[in-house]
């Protein structure tokens, strides 16, 4: 039976909250760094989910988001390339609704059940941006979750599904707008939309349900919805840290947290909302804790939270503050992006067929034995790296000043120069362990330019 066989989550390390200077809200939320967006978070979640699985067996990728970087250009193709999936993988974007994640999940389950795909990857990622100082900004959050769908020994099996579409304006984003908009009397709209839709869809599905992972715009509405559904204490999944309501990914983030402590036989209800509601019941078919995995747990990620120093810095990252974006302003050559995507996006180096030396970037002639055109590709992102040497650039035009250029030795072999992001300069030292992360380099003339960076390992 088609079901969920693996999962992975990613929550940005940065937090906006009480420790952030000039933060105008009493709440705390996860916030993407200046070089993160829905695509980079999706790649991170996909890598966690696929840890220990053969990526060559993934036949389809569904990327669900309300905040992809392009109105016309497929984000799923970028995620599939950066996640190093097969070149013939089926890719699709599902957008424009907070229910895009639940819709993607159902389509993937149906595709595997019908035999169209052996395994399908669902990536749900949202980067919620709202007007500065608004309630939507304070209640929002950023996160991504990936689910691997297959029919061999699933961890979760679907038992029931119910959808209730409803056309209502409560929160929306018009074409061409970067920021969310909301109805002035938002409480009334949530009463008429959120509460009615979820109650209608979940009604009759709660019998025998042990845990409920449900979308909620904020903690207040979560408590009220729990009362309306008659849920017992401890039945509603609550994250151990306040990351905010992370859009389409929020219900799946709760699911990932629930699976860290769930036991075999438990039933979990997923309640997604957005112009109506999707509710589904899944049965845990084996003990998740007993399943071998190399993924980082959600709890581990939440424990590594780092406060943004100043809210004005965050606004500058988004191009919303009083200070101009000082990031790279050179538009990339589109033909170079296409020609070099194996090197830049897939992050492939080469292993010489003559002497076995790993080199990055790949080239025709081995620098050691000089054999020509005799090499195989190597995924440099597999494993981590070690900092061999570094320099600090205090004059580079970047929000991440001083810019840390690191010479790193990869675990798979080879050496290269990379930017090191999300680093504490006082903690940087030669020989320290690094992880590899897919990040945004610049956004110029509507083009999001991505590459791989290094980040301090936990």
DSSP class of residue 32 equals -
Q: Average pLDDT, whole number, for the chain?
A: 91
Looking at residue 322, its pLDDT comes to 62
- pLDDT category of residue 409 using cuts at 50, 70 and 90: very high
Mean pLDDT, residues 2-11: 96
| Alpha carbon distance 237, 212 (integer Å) | 6
Q: Tell whether the model's pLDDT for residue 186 goes beyond 70.
A: no
Chain segment 387-406, per-residue pLDDT in tens: 999 999 988 777 878 899 99
Residues in Cβ contact with 86 at an 8 Å cutoff, skipping those fewer than 6 apart: 55, 56, 58, 59
- Which stretches does DSSP call E strand in 166-308? 171-172, 181-182, 211-214, 267-273, 276-284, 306-307
- pLDDT category of residue 182 using cuts at 50, 70 and 90: confident
| Alpha carbon distance 296, 144 (integer Å) | 13
Q: Tell whether the model's pLDDT for residue 7 goes beyond 70.
A: yes
Chain segment 121-131, per-residue pLDDT in tens: 999 999 999 99
| Alpha carbon distance 116, 385 (integer Å) | 38
pTM to 2 decimals? 0.95
Residues in Cβ contact with 307 at an 8 Å cutoff, skipping those fewer than 6 apart: 14, 15, 16, 17, 19, 20
Q: Tell whether the model's pLDDT for residue 77 goes beyond 60.
A: yes
- pLDDT category of residue 132 using cuts at 50, 70 and 90: very high
Q: Token pair of 40, please?
A: 């980079």
Q: Are strands 267-273 and 211-214 parallel, antiparallel or unpaired?
A: parallel
Tell me which residue of 87, 79, 84 sits closest to 54, measured CA to CA.
Answer: 84
Least confident of 178-182, 196-200, 222-226, 383-387: 178-182
Mean pLDDT, residues 12-40: 96
Q: Tell whether the model's pLDDT for residue 254 goes beyond 80.
A: yes
Q: What is the CA radius of gyration of the chain?
A: 22
pLDDT above 70 coverage of the chain, percent? 95
Looking at residue 144, its pLDDT comes to 98
Q: Tell whether the model's pLDDT for residue 327 goes beyond 60.
A: no
| Alpha carbon distance 407, 234 (integer Å) | 48
Mean pLDDT, residues 252-270: 94
Domains and CATH numbers, the chain: 3-317 (3.40.47.10), 334-456 (no CATH)
- pLDDT category of residue 143 using cuts at 50, 70 and 90: very high
Chain segment 81-111, per-residue pLDDT in tens: 999 999 999 999 999 999 999 999 999 999 9
Tell me which residue of 452, 226, 233 sits closest to 343, measured CA to CA.
Answer: 452
Looking at residue 413, its pLDDT comes to 96
Looking at residue 400, its pLDDT comes to 78
Looking at residue 185, its pLDDT comes to 63
C-beta of residue 310 within 8 angstroms of C-beta of residue 20: yes
Alpha helices in 311-402 (DSSP H): 311-317, 334-339, 341-344
Mean pLDDT, residues 345-365: 95
DSSP class of residue 120 equals E
Concatenating the DSSP letter of every residue in 78-102 gives HHHHHTT--TT-EEEEE-SSTTHHH
CB contact burial 258-282 (16+ within 10 A = b; e otherwise): bbeebeeebbbbbbbbbbbbbbbbb
């Amino acid at each position: 039976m088609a079901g969920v066989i693996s999962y992975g989550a990613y929550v940005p390390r940065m937090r906006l909250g009480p420790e952030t200077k000039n933060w105008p809200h009493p709440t705390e939320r996860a916030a993407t760094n200046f070089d993160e967006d829905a695509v980079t978070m999706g790649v991170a979640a996909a890598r966690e989910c696929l840890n220990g699985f053969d990526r060559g067996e993934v036949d389809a990728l569904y990327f669900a988001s309300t905040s992809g970087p392009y109105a016309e250009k497929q984000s799923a193709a970028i995620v599939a390339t950066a996640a190093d999936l097969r070149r013939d993988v089926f890719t699709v974007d599902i957008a424009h609704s907070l229910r895009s994640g639940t819709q993607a999940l159902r389509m993937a389950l149906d595709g595997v059940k019908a035999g169209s795909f052996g395994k399908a990857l669902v990536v749900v990622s949202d980067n919620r941006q709202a007007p500065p100082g608004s309630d939507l900004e304070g209640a929002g959050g950023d996160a991504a979750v990936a689910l691997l769908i297959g029919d061999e020994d699933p961890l979760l099996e679907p038992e029931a599904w119910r959808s209730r579409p409803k056309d209502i304006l409560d929160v929306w984003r018009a074409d061409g707008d970067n920021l969310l908009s909301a109805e002035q009397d938002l409480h009334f709209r949530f009463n008429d939309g959120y509460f009615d839709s979820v109650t209608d869809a979940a009604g009759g599905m709660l019998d025998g349900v042990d845990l409920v992972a449900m979308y909620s715009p904020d903690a207040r509405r979560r408590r009220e919805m729990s009362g309306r559904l008659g849920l017992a204490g401890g039945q509603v999944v609550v994250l151990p840290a306040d990351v905010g309501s992370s859009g389409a990914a929020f219900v799946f983030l709760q699911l990932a947290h629930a699976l860290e402590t769930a036991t075999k036989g438990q039933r979990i209800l997923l309640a997604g909302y957005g112009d109506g509601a999707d509710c589904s019941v899944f049965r845990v078919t084996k003990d998740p804790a007993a399943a071998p995995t190399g993924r980082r747990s959600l709890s581990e990620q939440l424990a590594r939270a780092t406060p943004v120093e100043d809210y004005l810095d965050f606004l500058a990252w988004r191009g919303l503050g009083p200070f101009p974006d000082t990031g790279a302003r050179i538009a990339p050559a589109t033909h170079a992006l296409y020609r070099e995507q194996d090197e830049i996006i897939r992050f492939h180096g080469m292993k010489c067929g003559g002497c076995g030396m790993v080199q990055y970037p790949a080239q025709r002639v081995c620098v050691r034995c000089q054999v020509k055109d005799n090499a195989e590709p190597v995924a440099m992102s597999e494993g981590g790296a070690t900092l061999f040497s570094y320099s600090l650039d205090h004059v580079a035009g970047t929000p991440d000043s001083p810019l840390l250029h690191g010479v790193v030795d990869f675990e798979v072999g080879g050496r290269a120069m990379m930017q090191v992001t999300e680093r504490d300069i006082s903690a940087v030292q030669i020989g320290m362990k690094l992880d590899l992360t897919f990040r945004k380099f610049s956004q110029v003339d509507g083009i999001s330019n991505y590459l791989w960076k290094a980040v301090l390992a936990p």
